[in-house]
Amino acid sequence: MKSKKLLKIMSNVISTVLFLTLIFMVFVVISSKASGGEPHVFGYQLKTVLSGSMEPEFNTGSIISIKPVEDAVSLKENDVITYMQADGSVVTHRIIEVVNNGEQTMYQTKGDNNADLDGQLVLPQNVVGIYTGFTIPFLGYFIEFAKSSKGTATLLIVPGLLLLVYSTFSITSAIKDLDKLSKKATKEEELNKPA
C-alpha cells in the first residue's frame, strides 16, 4: 500500500515538473521573440553574458538581470552598467570614473577581467540598464539556444511530447487498475451469489 502511495506522489511530482517546464519554455521562447532578444521578467531584462570580461563578477554563459535606468546621468563609480556601443552591440562593464565635461556627463568603463579601459566613453543615452546583482550561471547558453529556430522548436515540442507520453502512460496505468478492480468486484459477486 505504501508503494502505491509513493508511486502516486512521484507521478504527481513528475506531472507537475513536466507541466511547469513546458510553461517555462513557452514563456522563454515567447518573451525572447516578443522582445527581439532577451526575455523580460517583472520589468527586468535578462541578458546573456557572451564574454569573460567581467569575471569573476559573472561568468561566460551566465544570465544577468538588468534594470532599465530612469536617470542615466545619476550613475556612479562602481555601478555595473549595460550600454549600447556605436556598432549596435551591447556590453556590460563597470563604471570606473564619472567624467563631467561641461554640462555633459560621460562614463569611463572597464571590464573587471580586462587590463585596458574601454576605448570610448559611454554617453548616458546609450545606457540600457544597470546590473541588479542577480545572475544564474550557464543559463545563458540555454537562452541563446532558445532564441534559435531549432531551439524554439525543440524547447516547445520536447516538453510537450514528454508530457503527452507521460499522460498516456498515466491513463493506461489507471485503466489497468480500474480493470483489475472491476474483475475483482466481479469475482466477489460470483462468490457471494447464493447457490
98-117: b (≥16 Cβ within 10 Å) or e: eeeeeeebbbbbbbeebeee
The H or E element spanning position 15 is: helix 2-35
Annotation marks residue 51 as catalytic: yes
Alpha-carbon gap, residue 159 to 173, rounded angstroms = 21
Note whether 130 and 66 are within 8 A (CB). yes
Alpha-carbon gap, residue 54 to 70, rounded angstroms = 24
Catalytic-role residue among 51, 74, 167, 173: 51
One-letter identity of residue 12? N
Which positions are catalytic?
Answer: 51
